[in-house]
Every structure is written in structure tokens, then in C-alpha cells.
């Protein structure tokens, strides 16, 4: 089923046919001239977003980390987006957040969404996206609508904020009943510098590298204060603590193909998605944290969009207020780490944790 993209700020109506349209906003995508490979018989071409006016190349964005069993994070879906008429598809990360009105809702990054019409496939519990015989794997394929945040700002705006989108599907699977992720609510506390978080995805293992080892990996990161994070990106991108959160660890990061995937914090009650992969400087470059969309700022938008597009009066979405956050991790402080700014003449490659690509 084909999804269509509207201009920024436009909105669809309620349920039924109206719910099959979407108001979207994202920057222009340009396929990168990178090596392609084959995944389950389908061509893979990494993609790239460019901001020519800033001479900045924003490429897709797990480096380091380890392979994990998808069952440990059943809400994670490899999101395969195929533009109409295209011979290859784009790979992003995403998470299953719940259902309403018979639709299943997937959360991802706004910068992943193609400009034109496209089809979507959300692949769950895949041990290896290269394998066509994975018995645990299942997919949602009947995408009926997509909407990005109306205030999404693109790379050409010298910022990348409000970078989130929802895609909803009309097909379902019984396994989804135990796959829903808990989201950070609007009153979830800002985590302090050094708080432990994780990011997971099927993306590349190094900056500019191929997406040829498509297993789910997880990297252990630490929160970096947004004031220090903003200093690093000064003159390149503006960092807004109200809508963004930063995280980093030596030798570990999200990378190409991970865009839109979940940034998780686990408190004494369990895992909570506090962010989603947005952008950063290459992958795992020391001193340059990854930047994530702060989900606690978007509870109202997520809730209202789900109810608006489904035509339902309630949903299964679950939010946490962080009442069980570990002591000492509930107030964000500036990072004490020494980080150098980006070289002024080598701003050239600030990476999006965008995607590699994979074909359906």
C-alpha cells in the first residue's frame, strides 16, 4: 500500500479514508554514492541528506556495542521505506508504541520519511535482515498513513529539531501484544550527566561503512549535558534542551541505518524510551555526542496524532513519569568532560543517524 506525503504543517482528518493521508515535513534526500550490497536478494543503497548552503553533508547514522537477541527489545522494528518506482529502499530504525482504532503505530525520525509516495514495511524480531528464513521474524506491511511533527526543522534551517514521525498500519500480529514500548511522559525528569542509556539498531558498524551485517546491536551510552553538547555543535546546528537529548560513550554510537531507533533508559520499573536517533558528527567520534529527539516533550503530540488519525477515543499507548528513576539520575547537569568544537573548515560531514537502505 502506498503512502503519500503532504507539505509541512498540513494535517489529516479523523479515521477511515481521512486517516490514510498525512501532514509531513522533512528535508530533501539525496542518495549517497556509496557501495551497494544485496539483502535477501534486494539491492541496498545507503542514503544521504545534504545541506548545500552550509557545506555540510548529513549522512545516515551501531558502532561498538554487541549483538543482542531481538526478543530482549521486541518493540524495535527495522523500517524499510520504498519510494514509488525506486529500485532500492531506505532502512531506518523505529519502535512500536501501541494501537488505536485498529491501527498499529510505529515511531521513527521525520528525516527518514521520503518526499514522494512510498510503501513501508516494519520488520520485528529479526536476528539477521539478510536471512529470509528467520522463524521469529514478522512484519507489518499494510501502511496506511504517515505524519511528521509540524514543526520539524531541516538541516537547511541550521537545526534538526522536532525530528519525529508516526506511521500507522492496518495489519497486525498477535506478537505485538507483548511488543509495545513504554514512552517517557511530559513530566519525565531530565536525566543527569552520566546516566546510563542504550541505543539499538540494525545500522552500519562504522561511519560510511556498508549495511552488510544486518543484526540487531546495542550500544551502552551515557547522557551528556545539553549545554556541553550545544557547545560542540555551535555554528553548525543549534541544540535545544527542550526537544533534544545527547548521549555518548568511547567507541560506541548509533550509525548509518539507525535513524529513528529508540534511545532507552531502564529504571527500577523497567525500560523506557526517552529518545530516538536523530543526528551527530560521523559515528563514535570522540568528543562529539549523538543527538536524539527528547520524547518527553512530545507526549501531547503523539497522543493527539494517534487519536486524530485513528478516529478512536482511546489508545493502548503507555507513558512513564520516571517515578522510579535511580537516585541521582533525575536532574540534568552540564557535562564535565572536555570536548572540542567541530573544526570550522571541516564541518563537512555531520552525520544523520539516517539509514542505509534495503529493498522489500
Question: Active-site residue numbers?
Answer: 111, 163, 259
- The C-alpha cell at 33 is 554514492
Cβ 44 vs Cβ 38: under 8 Å = yes
* CA 160 remoteness from chain centre: 13
Instruction: Give the residue among 343, 353, 356, 348 at the shortest CA–CA distance from 57.
Output: 348
The pairs formed by 337-345 with CB atoms below 8 angstroms and a separation of 24 or more are 337/224, 337/228, 337/287, 338/287, 339/228, 339/231, 339/232, 339/287, 339/288, 339/289, 340/232, 340/287, 341/231, 341/232, 341/234, 341/235, 342/232, 342/233, 342/235, 342/236, 342/281, 342/288, 344/235
Name the grid cell of 345: 573548515
CB 162 within 8 Å of CB 110? yes
Amino acid at each position: 500500500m502506498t503512502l503519500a506525503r503532504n507539505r509541512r504543517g498540513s494535517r489529516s482528518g479523523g479515521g477511515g479514508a481521512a486517516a490514510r493521508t498525512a501532514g509531513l515535513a522533512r528535508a530533501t534526500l539525496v542518495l549517497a554514492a556509496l557501495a551497494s550490497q544485496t539483502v535477501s536478494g534486494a539491492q541496498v543503497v545507503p542514503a544521504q541528506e545534504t545541506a548545500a548552503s552550509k557545506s555540510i553533508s548529513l549522512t545516515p547514522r551501531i558502532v561498538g556495542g554487541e549483538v543482542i537477541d531481538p526478543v530482549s527489545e521486541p518493540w524495535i522494528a527495522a523500517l524499510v521505506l520504498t519510494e514509488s518506482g525506486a529500485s532500492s529502499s531506505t532502512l531506518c530504525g523505529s519502535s512500536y508504541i501501541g494501537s488505536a482504532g485498529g491501527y498499529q503505530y510505529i515511531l521513527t525520525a521525520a528525516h527518514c520519511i521520503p518526499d514522494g509516495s512510498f510503501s513501508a514495511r516494519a520488520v520485528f524480531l529479526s536476528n539477521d535482515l539478510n536471512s529470509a528464513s528467520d522463524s521469529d521474524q514478522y512484519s507489518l506491511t499494510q501502511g496506511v498513513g504517515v505524519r511528521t511533527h509540524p514543526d520539524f526543522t531541516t538541516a537547511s534551517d541550521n537545526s534538526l529539531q522536532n525530528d519525529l514521525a508516526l506511521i500507522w498500519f492496518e495489519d497486525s500480529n498477535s506478537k505485538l501484544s507483548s511488543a509495545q514500548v513504554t514512552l517517557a511522559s511530559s513530566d519525565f525528569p531530565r536525566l543527569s550527566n552520566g546516566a546510563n542509556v542504550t541505543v539499538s539498531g540494525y545500522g552500519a558498524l562504522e561511519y560510511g561503512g556498508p549495511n552488510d551485517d544486518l543484526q540487531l546491536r546495542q550500544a551502552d551510552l551515557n547522557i551528556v549535558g545539553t549545554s556541553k553538547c550545544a557547545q560542540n555543535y555551535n555554528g553548525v546546528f543549534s541544540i535545544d534542551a527542550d526537544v533534544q537529548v545527547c548521549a555518548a560513550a568511547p567507541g560506541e554510537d548509533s550509525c548509518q541505518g539507525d535513524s529513528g531507533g529508540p534511545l532507552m533508559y531502564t529504571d527500577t520499573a523497567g525500560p523506557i524510551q526517552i529518545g530516538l536517533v536523530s543526528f551527530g558528527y560521523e559515528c563514535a567520534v570522540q568528543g562529539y555526542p549523538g543527538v536524539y529527539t527528547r520524547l518527553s516533550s512530545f507526549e501531547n503530540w503523539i497522543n493527539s496524532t494517534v487519536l486524530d488519525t485513528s478516529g478512536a477515543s482511546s489508545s493502548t499507548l503507555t507513558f512513564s513519569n520516571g517515578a522510579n528513576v535511580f537516585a541521582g539520575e533525575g536532574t540534568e547537569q552540564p557535562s564535565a568532560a572536555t570536548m572540542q568544537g567541530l573544526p570550522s573548515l571541516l564541518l563537512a560531514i555531520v552525520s544523520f543517524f539516517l539509514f542505509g537502505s534495503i529493498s522489500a
